[in-house]
Amino acid sequence: MSSEIRALEPKELWNKFADLNAVPRPSKKEERVIQFMKDFGQNLGLETIEDEVGNVIIRKPASKGMEDRKPIVMQSHLDMVHQKNNDTVFNFDEQGIEMYVEGDWVKAKGTTLGADNGLGVATIMAILESDTISHPALEALFTIDEETGMTGAKGLKGGLLKGEILLNLDTEEDDEIGVGCAGGVDVTATREYKEEETPEFKIGYTITVKGLQGGHSGMQIHEGLGNANKLMNRLLFDGFEDYGLRISEIDGGSLRNAIPRESNATVAIDAVHEAAFEAEMKAKADELKFEFKTMEPDLEVVVSKTETPEKIMDLGVQEGLTRALYAAWNGVYRMSPDIEGLVETSNNIARVIVKEGHIKIGCLTRSSVESTKQDLANTLRAVFELTGCEVEFSGDYPGWAPNMDSDILKLMVPIYERLNNGEKPHVAACHAGLECGILGTNYPKMDMISFGPNIKGAHSPDERAQISSAQKYWKFVLEILENIPKA
C-alpha cells in the first residue's frame, strides 16, 4: 500500500506524504507530528525551532546563485480532520492513514486522507530535503490546530519570521490562485433541561440519517449537500402532535468544519400510533430521498424499534429545540456582490447533542465581511436564546482581504499561463478559513498567496487527491521558487 503511493510521480512529494501520513496528527493532539517535524529538520542539519504554541519553523539558506532573492516563507498546517465511515474500524490517535490508488486518485480506506493539508506539508519537506531544487532563503512554517481553531497561526508572534513573501499551500483547486479568504466564528448554544420518566404506554424507536456525502463546510457549503442535523429535525418536527413523540437522545454531526453526514436519535412514541408512525417515517424518508436524489444518492433514513428509553426530554424544551433548529440558518446566507460566484457568508449547523439533561448545538459561521459575519452570528444567537439557550461566540478569526496589486500574484499568473499552454488561472478569494488573514495581523507587510493541487471531498471519508494534478502543481512550485525576484 505504502509502496504503491511511493512509486507515484513526483516521488519526492509522494514519499514525504507517505512518511507524514504514517504519523497520527489529529487537531489538538499534534505532539507526535510536531516531534516528527523537529526530527526531520534537525536530521537535515537545518535550524529548527518550536515556538511556544507548538508551531515548527525550519530555516534553510538559499541555494547557490539565489542568495540575492527575496526570502520566502512556505507554510502549511500539520493537523488533519479526522472523519471515518460508521462501518470503518480505525483509531486516529494510534494508526497511520491507510492509502491506496484508484485511477488518477489517491484515497484512504474509509477515512479522511489528510491531503488537506498534508500535501502542502510534504511539498515543503521535499524542498527542505533536496539539494538540487533552486530556491531563495527559505523559512518553512508548519502551524498546528488549523482545523479546530487556528490557534497555531493565532499564537505565532510577530518578528519571528524574516521572509517577505508567504506561499500558503492550502488551496484545493490547481487552477486557482488564492488572494483572500473568509473569517469565521464558532457559535455554541447550550442549555439544561429536566428529564422525565417515560410513561408506560410509550414504545421506543431509533432514527438514523446516514449516507450523506458530508464535506468542507466552507468550500462546499453552496453545493446543496444534505445536512444530517437539519434532515433529522425535519423528521422529528411536530412529532409530538402526530404521535406523542418524545425525544430521549440526539447525536448528530461531528466537527464544526465538516458538513454533518450522520445523525442518530432515540425517541418514544405512543404505542397506539405505531403503525401510523412507521408509515409516516417511510413517507418522509421517501420525500427526502427524492428531494436529494441528485446530490445525495446514498441517503438513508433507518427507523427501527428499540427498547423504550427510560428518560425523555421535557416537552416544552423539546418543542423549543425543534423549532429553533428549523429556524436556525444553515447554508449560504449571502453571496458576494463584488466577486462573482463567491459565497460571502454562510453557516454550518455542525453538531447537535441532546443527552442526560444537556443540549449542545455547535455552528461555524464564516464570512469574508466582518460585519456580515457578526450579523449572521447574532441571527443564530437570537434564535437559540429565544428557546432558552445560552449562546457563546468563540474561536473568532479574521478574513484575508484580497490584494490584486500583489507582486507575487503578478509573478505567478504568467508562470501558470506559460506552464499550461496559455490557460489563465482563476484568481479568487475562497469561502474557507486560510491562515493568511491571521498571520497578516502580525506580518502586515508580508506579500501572501495561496495555491495547491486538486483535492476533492476534504473533511470527509471521500477525500481524495488527484495524481496528475499533483504533478502539475509540483512543476508550478518549482518554477515559482526559481523565479522569486531579487530583494
> What are the catalytic residues?
79, 146
Distance CA 257, CA 240 (A): 32
Say which residues have a Cβ less than 8 Å from residue 11's Cβ, sequence separation at least 6. Answer: none
Range with top average pLDDT, 217-221, 239-243, 358-362: 358-362
Domains and CATH numbers, the chain: 2-182+399-482 (3.40.630.10), 185-397 (3.30.70.360)
Confidence of residue 454 (pLDDT cuts 50, 70, 90): very high
* Res 407 pLDDT > 70: yes
Residue 487: name the closest of 139, 133, 59, 163 by CA: 163
Residue in the structure block whose three cell numbers are 498534508: 118
Instruction: Give residue 169's pLDDT band: very low, low, confident or very high (50, 70, 90).
Output: very high
State the cell numbers at 478: 518549482
The runs of H, that is alpha helices, within 224-358 are 228-236, 239-243, 274-291, 315-327
Q: Which pLDDT tens digit goes with each residue over 280-315?
A: 999 999 999 999 999 999 999 999 999 999 999 999
Average pLDDT over residues 369-373: 93
At 401, is the pLDDT very low, low, confident or very high (cuts 50, 70, 90)? confident
Q: Which amino acid, residue 128?
A: L
Across the chain, mean pLDDT equals 96
- pLDDT-based confidence at 340, cuts 50/70/90? confident
Backbone angles phi, psi at 430, to 5 degrees: -120, 160
In percent, the amount of the chain with pLDDT more than 70 equals: 100
Is the Cα torsion angle 479, 482, 486, 487 positive or negative in sign? positive
Beta strand residue intervals within 356-389, DSSP E: 358-367
Return the closest-CA partner of residue 484 out of 73, 127, 174: 73
Angle at CA of residue 210, ends 348 and 103, nearest 5°: 90
HSE value, Cβ hemisphere, 13 Å, CA-based, for 234: 17
Kindly indicate the confidence band of residue 1, based on its pLDDT and cuts at 50, 70 and 90. Answer: low
pLDDT digits (tens, 9 = 90+) for 259-286: 999 999 999 999 999 999 999 999 999 9
CA distance 468 to 455: 11
Helices 467-482 and 11-21: crossing angle in degrees, nearest 10, is 110
State the average pLDDT over residues 214-243: 95
Q: Would you call 80 exposed, middle or buried from its count of C-beta atoms within 10 A (0-12, 13-18, 19+)? A: buried
Res. 96 pLDDT band, cuts 50 70 90: very high
pLDDT at 327 exceeding the cut of 70 = yes
Q: How confident is the model at residue 175 (pLDDT cuts 50, 70, 90)?
A: very high
